[in-house]
Amino acid sequence: MASLDFVATSGVKNLVRDLRRASEKEAVKVLRRAHREIANEIRDDARARAKTAYGKRGSYGRASRAITSRAWPDKAKVRLEPKKDPRVLGAEYGAIQYPQFRAWTGNQWIGGPPEGVGYALLPTLRDDVPKIRETYGDRIMDALAAAFPD
């Protein structure tokens, strides 16, 4: 399963913990909304890319609903969920044996999505890292402004 964990967010757990201790619930809500916004945007971009990778009627176009997102105050995840549609893994990584999928690209995941792996979610993550970091930085500042308006 792929997630946004490769985008450096060290210290966010400590920030959320400190904001909770300071009774800054609004700031924690802002962080959760930021994570939800980023995860949903990545999910939507990946779903759109999946539909163009194989075509709307192709295996990934139909399996794109298995690309899901979740958000917490300290993290966000975008995942491939084979329970929702078992074709999603074959559509994302390709296959050697099954002709309904494109060519196998590999499934290595060490320190972030490697180049050339994946057809929708992983390329979207690779392409959107600068946008994720910028949006995330802006939202952290929003959360701090909500916590400390002075």
Model confidence pLDDT, tens digit, residues 51-75 = 887 666 676 777 889 999 999 888 8
Separation between Cα atoms, residue 69 and residue 124, nearest integer Å: 14
Gap between the Cα atoms of 57 and 42, Å rounded = 22
For the entire predicted model, the pTM comes to: 0.76
pLDDT reading at 8 higher than 60? no
- Residue 46, pLDDT score: 92
What pLDDT was estimated at residue 27? 74
**In this structure, what token pair is assigned to residue 77?**
């995840």
What is the arithmetic mean of pLDDT over 124-133?
86
H or E segment and range at residue 71: strand 67-71
Q: Is 2 helix (H, G, I), strand (E, B) or coil?
A: coil
Tell me which residue range forms the domain holding 86: 4-147
**CA terminus-to-terminus distance, the chain:** 41
The mean pLDDT of the chain is 79
What is the total count of domains within the chain? Answer: 1
What is the pLDDT at residue 110? Answer: 60
